Amino acid sequence: MKTSEVIQAWKSVLSGRRPSLAIEITRECPLRCPGCYAYEEGHVGGLNLRQLQDKRGDDLVQGVLALVDEHRPLHLSLVGGDPLVRHREVSRLLPILSGRGIYVQVVTSAFRQIPPEWADIERFNIVVSIDGLQPEHDARRKPATYARILENIRGHQVIVHCTITGQMMKRPSYLQDFIEFWSAKPEIRKIWMSIFTPQVGATGPEILKREERVQAVKELLGLRRLFPKLDMPEGLLQEFLHPPESPEVCVFAQTTHTISADLKSKITPCQFGGTPDCSQCGCFASMGLAAVGNHKLALGLTAGDIYWASNSISKILPRNKRAA
């Protein structure tokens, strides 16, 4: 992150605004992935994503721009559902958002061709979610199979994101095999890894045991030296071993507004909705910002000390000062 971007984010916090905005741009997704938090009961206001009334066409475009005007984010994530279901609307939005200087990220399964014109958008990332190696991924994520992803990302530079599950950690070298495969593809710019985050009280094979979490971190610490595309600094990886204890002390949760597909329902306490088990959080973004927060500055201070102090100041400033 550039110094100018850090200063912009700091100004947003001091003015009482969250610098990041995430929008579930559609309730629709052609996939039925086991463990997807967006379609669990209670994800948003006691409902799941499919129970909301979403928008399309001009209503969607204008609705997203209205949210951007209201929240004035520095960074915007378009998630779903799958944003490629609304690729026409997203294609209209991207040049406008880029022209405003907003960094935009679209998270997709790449179940259909990514529009060629997206390759020319500045300040823009395409993140493709992949659930492990081909046999497991194709079974979980049909129709977004490996073959279709490789075809649909052609002509683009994308980021691969994979969520590590308990099943993956049962097989030796699974993480290395996955990272090695995707690192070799010229379309892949970076690789990010999260760890499956359950809801409180949940059970299931996706959830890692403590020793599996420790082993995953150990393996990734070694793999980052072998595969430069694995974009996971050591500090970020170490945060997986002691994630933020609650949304109230999670920098990512406190700096990001998440709005669902009706463009009005807020998802709380973070992007997962419901009651996520923070003791088992494996969110890549949460760990990344936790690592930034723990970065040591001068005089024994950390970047997190500066953030939390700024956040407190913003809450006691007069409203007109914060809006300036």
What CATH number is attached to the domain comprising 96? 3.20.20.70
- In this prediction the pTM is 0.91
What is the pLDDT confidence band of residue 317, given thresholds at 50, 70 and 90? low
Instruction: Give me the mean pLDDT over the 290-308 stretch.
Output: 75
CA distances from 267 to 49, 80, 320 (A): 10, 13, 27
Angle between the 303-316 and 284-293 helix axes, to the nearest 10 degrees? 90
Tokens for 38?
A: 């967006």
Q: Residue 320: inside a domain, yes or no?
A: no
Q: What share of the chain has pLDDT > 90, as a percent?
A: 80
Of residues 283 and 305, which shows the higher confidence score?
Answer: 283
Q: Residue 125: inside a domain, yes or no?
A: yes
Of residues 104 and 312, which shows the higher confidence score?
Answer: 104
Give residue 323's pLDDT. Answer: 43
Residue type, 217: V
Of residues 300 and 267, which shows the higher confidence score?
Answer: 267
Q: Residue 12: inside a domain, yes or no?
A: no
Range of the domain at 202: 17-293
Instruction: Give me the mean pLDDT over the 140-147 stretch.
Output: 95
Instruction: Give me the mean pLDDT over the 107-116 stretch.
Output: 98
Tally the domains of the chain: 1
Angle between the 57-71 and 87-99 helix axes, to the nearest 10 degrees? 30
Q: Residue 316: inside a domain, yes or no?
A: no
What is the pLDDT confidence band of residue 14, given thresholds at 50, 70 and 90? low
Give residue 322's pLDDT. Answer: 44
Residue 243, preceding peptide bond in cis (omega within 30° of 0): no
The angle subtended at Cα 225 by Cα 224 and Cα 226, nearest 5°, is 90
Q: What share of the chain has pLDDT > 70, as a percent?
A: 91
CB count within 10 Å of CB 1 equals 8
The per-residue pLDDT of the chain, averaged, comes to: 91
State the first-to-last Cα distance of the chain, in angstroms, to the nearest integer.
Answer: 25
What is the pLDDT confidence band of residue 304, given thresholds at 50, 70 and 90? confident
Separation CA 180–CA 160 (nearest Å): 12
Chain segment 152-175, per-residue pLDDT in tens: 999 999 999 999 999 999 999 999
Give residue 324's pLDDT. Answer: 37
Whether the per-residue pLDDT at 66 is higher than 80: the answer is yes
Residue type, 197: T
Whether the per-residue pLDDT at 10 is higher than 90: the answer is no
Instruction: Give me the mean pLDDT over the 167-191 stretch.
Output: 98
What is the pLDDT confidence band of residue 321, given thresholds at 50, 70 and 90? very low
Tokens for 188?
A: 């892949």
Whether the per-residue pLDDT at 300 is higher than 80: the answer is no
Nearest Cα residue to 315 out of 10, 16, 18, 20: 16
Instruction: Give me the mean pLDDT over the 20-41 stretch.
Output: 93
Chain segment 198-247, per-residue pLDDT in tens: 999 999 999 999 999 999 999 999 999 999 999 999 999 999 999 999 99
Q: Residue 251: inside a domain, yes or no?
A: yes
What is the pLDDT confidence band of residue 7, given thresholds at 50, 70 and 90? low
Nearest Cα residue to 192 out of 97, 77, 306, 60: 77
CB count within 10 Å of CB 106 equals 26
Q: What is the DSSP letter of 164?
A: E
The mean-pLDDT minimum among 37-41, 140-144, 319-323 falls in 319-323
Instruction: Give me the mean pLDDT over the 135-150 stretch.
Output: 96
Q: What is the DSSP letter of 121?
A: -
Cα-only R_g, the chain: 19
Whether the per-residue pLDDT at 3 is higher than 60: the answer is no
Q: Residue 182: inside a domain, yes or no?
A: yes
The sign of the dihedral angle between the CA atoms of 61, 64, 70, 71 is: negative
Q: What is the DSSP letter of 208?
A: P
Chain segment 260-286, per-residue pLDDT in tens: 999 999 999 999 999 999 999 999 999
Q: Does residue 146 sit in helix, strand or coil?
A: helix
Q: Residue 277: inside a domain, yes or no?
A: yes
Q: Residue 70: inside a domain, yes or no?
A: yes
